[in-house]
Amino acid sequence: MPKVATLAAVLAAGLSTQALAAGPDLTAIQTVVVIYAENRSFDNLYGAFPGANGLANATAAEFTQRDRDGTELKGLPPIWGGTSAGVAKGAVTAPVPLTQAQTAAYLSTFNHPYPVGALYGQVSSDPGNALGYTNHDLYHRFYENQMQIDGGKNDQFAAWADSGGMVMGYFPAGEADLPLWSWAKRFVLADNFYQGAFGGSFLNHQYLVCSCAPVYPNHGINPNEGGKNPTVSVVDPDGVHLKVSARSTPSVMDGPPVFELSGNLTPDFYAINTMQPPFPPSNNADAAETKVDPLNATTLPPQTATTIGDLLSAARVDWAWYAGAWGYALGHPPNSNIDNSNVPNFQTHHQPFNYFAAFDPATPQGKANRAAHLLDGGMDGAGFVAAIDAGHLPPVTFYKPQGNLNEHAGYTDVASGDTHIADLLKHLQASPQWAHMLVVVTYDENGGWWDHAAPPKADRFGPGSRIPTLIVSPFAKPGTVDHTFYDTTSILRFITHRWNLPTLAGIALRDQALAANGGPKLGDLTEALALPTAN
């Protein structure tokens, strides 16, 4: 534990009490806005960004992919099922989707990252802009992410993927193609920012609000009599690798991996892969979206861990989670133009506070909490934009775009979400609150896309792969690529420091684990800001 300098020690060292108190004046930031997009690694979107640690910095050892037995691949495996496999109904696919055989003919000739547009160039002299296409989704699960990272070598992304060589694709984007690039060039792009937890959206949304993994009570047994139990992952003794089934092909070149069981829970009953909220909107709700089936194996019982919302409310700091199409989802039956369709493609597991007992609509306090803090962002974010324009955002504001605007592979494209978020930034910059605002635009996780940077070793839950993050503010250091080490919990760190809140247990645990493993210290975003000095 670091030593705290006493006043006597400072004076003995010849320093003044003013020097002791000097530091950035965090009160200059009065509104924090977090925009949480989906499923892109840093190299996937910003690998060509000038001055960033991108593709040009990756060595052959960092991008060469290896087979499941550790031998170097002579070429990348095909995209299993082709580029449109698993793409949601109504999503915008390429004019000529590629078959598995067509991808094999291209990918088997090299073993390195490649521009996604080059895939489509195999069948068309004018492949168009791949940023506007919905492509094959990729594994982005807890154990699979760790197996792909392979102890920091990042050399088994293809080996442990259900999408084959798709994982090595990137978009050689620029300002003309990706509207957020111009914002990154004018403000701050963080190129050393990692997803808070290994795996997918469900767990990383939990890390955004509580820096913790959800728990399943009663040792993995459904607490409701007659309920079905969730699936428990079958894991090797190292606690990192899933047990590979005897039915799995030995080589990645012959097929995607098959595991004994990649389940929703760890063997000690932490919920790590997608489970459904216990309150509406939920895929396990009834047709009227009034109650959720607690007997369903994928319903997560209400959680009671402390969240950043709890800390803010206790300190009397207002806050809100704006979800795009929240009102729409509450008014429509689950799976009825909500999940797996194009508009709005509302994702119930992207709403982390809806998993907590404090938001139980059946209780008076829970109902009041929902009304105060879980707000409708409106279709296409119209409700959120209205609050921005009116200057009515609470001091801490989270915004989750609806599914077709969140950039997630498998059911939407990059361009639509990027355009939407860039438009939000224009509104935020014109807002009455802009002069004292900090906006963080980040992604929940890498979505299974390869990235060359090795995550630092910390605790058993993360951090996972590197993700893009923009820091936009009147106080942002203009035109800066910030190399400070951050992860998703850095957002919570800033909020905690700004409003003098207690430290969440998960943040303390991560700091201890990083220190124990000789890792870097996590930043709290102030490194990207030029704030006035506190008096």
3-class SS string, 383-433: HHHHHHHHCCCCCEEEEECCHHHCCCCCCCCHHHHHHHHHHHHHHHHCCCC
Evaluate whether 57 touches 144 at the Cβ level (below 8 Å): no
d(CA 106, CA 77): 10
Evaluate whether 231 touches 264 at the Cβ level (below 8 Å): yes
d(CA 371, CA 267): 37
Range 26-52+174-213+277-528: architecture per CATH: 3-Layer(aba) Sandwich (3.40)
Tell me the whole-structure pTM to 2 decimals: 0.94
Edge-to-edge strands of the sheet including 480-482?
Answer: 374-378, 319-324, 396-400, 31-37, 437-443, 469-472, 188-190, 480-482
* DSSP structural state of residue 504: P
Cβ partners under 8 Å of residue 126, min gap 6: none
Phi-psi region of 51 (alpha: psi -120 to 50; beta: other; left: phi over 0): left
pLDDT per position in the chain (535 positions), as tens?
333 333 233 223 333 333 344 689 999 999 999 999 999 999 999 999 999 999 999 999 999 999 999 999 999 999 999 998 878 877 778 888 899 999 999 999 999 999 999 988 877 766 778 899 998 999 999 999 999 999 999 999 999 999 999 999 999 877 788 999 999 999 999 999 999 999 999 999 999 999 999 999 988 899 998 999 999 999 999 999 999 999 999 999 999 999 999 999 999 999 999 999 999 999 999 988 889 999 999 999 999 999 999 999 999 999 999 999 999 999 887 765 555 556 789 999 999 999 999 999 999 999 999 999 999 999 999 999 999 999 999 999 999 999 999 999 999 999 999 999 999 999 999 999 999 999 999 999 999 999 999 999 999 999 999 999 999 999 999 999 999 999 999 999 999 999 999 999 999 999 999 999 999 999 999 999 999 998 7
d(CA 83, CA 151): 29
Paired tokens of 423: 């438009």
